[in-house]
Amino acid sequence: MLPCVVVDNTPSMRTGASLGLSASIEYVPNGENVGIATALNQGVEYLKRAGAEMALLFDQDSEPSDTLLAGLPAEIARANERGERVALVGPAYDDPRLRGTAPFVRFRYWKLERLVPQGSEPMDVDFLITSGSCINLRFWSEVGPMDDALFIDFVDLEWCVRAKQKGYHILGLPWLRMSHELGGEPVRIFGRAYPMHGPLRHYYQFRNVIALLKRSYIPWSWKTTELLKLPVRLVIYSFFPEQRSQHIRMALEGLRDGWMGRLGRYGDRSVPRS
C-alpha cells in the first residue's frame, strides 16, 4: 500500500480514528496552525522516510479523480526514465465560480502569459498551485523545502521559482483536470469575478508579495506584473468586501511587515526574518 499522511493544522487535537481515517494513514495533529509551508514539509518528509519517490499534495477542499491520482505520478515516472529534470507536475484546475478552467502561466514582463490547457503534451510553465501537484522527491533535497517563513500564500510560487532556477522543469498536464475552489466566495467587479478571502489572509498576501519583491532571486518578469496588480488588489480587496476597515488595516499591516522583513505567523512577528 502506498504511504499516505494527513497533516492537521486545526487548533483542536484529534485522532485519525475520530476523523474516520484508516489506521494505515499517518495522522499528524499539529494542534495549531503552523502554516501551509510547514505542514507540507512535514508531509513530504514523512513520505521520504517511508521510501516514496513522489509526493501528491492536496488541500482539504480538492477533489482528485482516480485518473488524476494515476496520471500525475505516471508523468513523473516517464520523466525519470528519460533522464529529464522534472521537479513538479500538476493538472489544470476548474473553479466554476471564477473563470472555469484556469490557464497555466508563464512569467512575462508586465503581464503574465496565460496558456490555455489543451492538448496531450506537457506544457513547460513557471508556476503551479500546490494542491493537485506531484513533487518528484528525487530532487526535493536540492530544491529545498517550502519556505516556512512565508506561512501561507505564494509558498508554491516561491518553491517553483527556486526549482526553475536550479534547472528543473515545472510541467502543467493539460489533459488532467481537478476541481478546486480558489479562496472564498468571489466578488464581481465590472463583470469579472475575483477570489475573496478574509482580512487575515489578505495580510499574508500583501506581506508576502512585498517580501518576495525584495528577494534578488525572484525574477523581474514576475515582479513587474505584481507591481501592476498590487494597487488593483488593494482597491478590490479593501473596498468591495464587507468589513472594509478590517481588510484595509490588515492589508496595510501586511505591506508594512513585508517591507520590514517580519515574516512567520501573524502575531509572532517581533523578530525580523529574511
Grade residue 271 by pLDDT with cuts at 50, 70 and 90.
Answer: very low
Considering only CA atoms, which of 272, 261, 252 is closest in space to residue 205? 252
Q: Are 85 and 169 in contact (CB under 8 A)?
A: yes
pLDDT at 196 over 80: no
Q: What percent of the chain has pLDDT over 90?
A: 73
| Mean pLDDT of all residues belonging to the chain | 90
For the record, the C-alpha cell of 168 comes out as 528543473
Residues 146-180 have pLDDT tens digits of: 999 999 999 999 999 999 999 999 999 999 999 86
| List of residues 6+ apart from 68 with CB closer than 8 A | 91, 132, 176, 177, 178
Confidence of residue 182 (pLDDT cuts 50, 70, 90): low
Three-state DSSP state, 214: coil
Grouping H, G, I as helix, E, B as strand and the rest as coil, residue 8 is strand
Q: What global pTM score does this model have?
A: 0.92
DSSP secondary structure of 159-207: HHHHHHHTT-EEEEEEEEEEE---SEEEEEETTEEEEE--HHHHHHHHH
pLDDT tens, residue by residue, 109-151: 999 999 999 999 999 999 999 999 999 999 999 999 999 999 9
Express each pLDDT in 26-56 by its tens digit: 999 999 999 999 999 999 999 999 999 999 9
Domains, the chain, in order of start with CATH, read 53-179 (3.90.550.10), 184-260 (no CATH)
For residues 172-189, give the mean pLDDT. 77
- CB under 8 Å to 51, separation ≥6 — which residues? 3
**Contact at 8 Å (CB) between 247 and 234?**
no
The alpha-helical segments, DSSP class H, found in the chain are 36-49, 66-81, 140-143, 155-165, 199-213, 220-239, 244-260
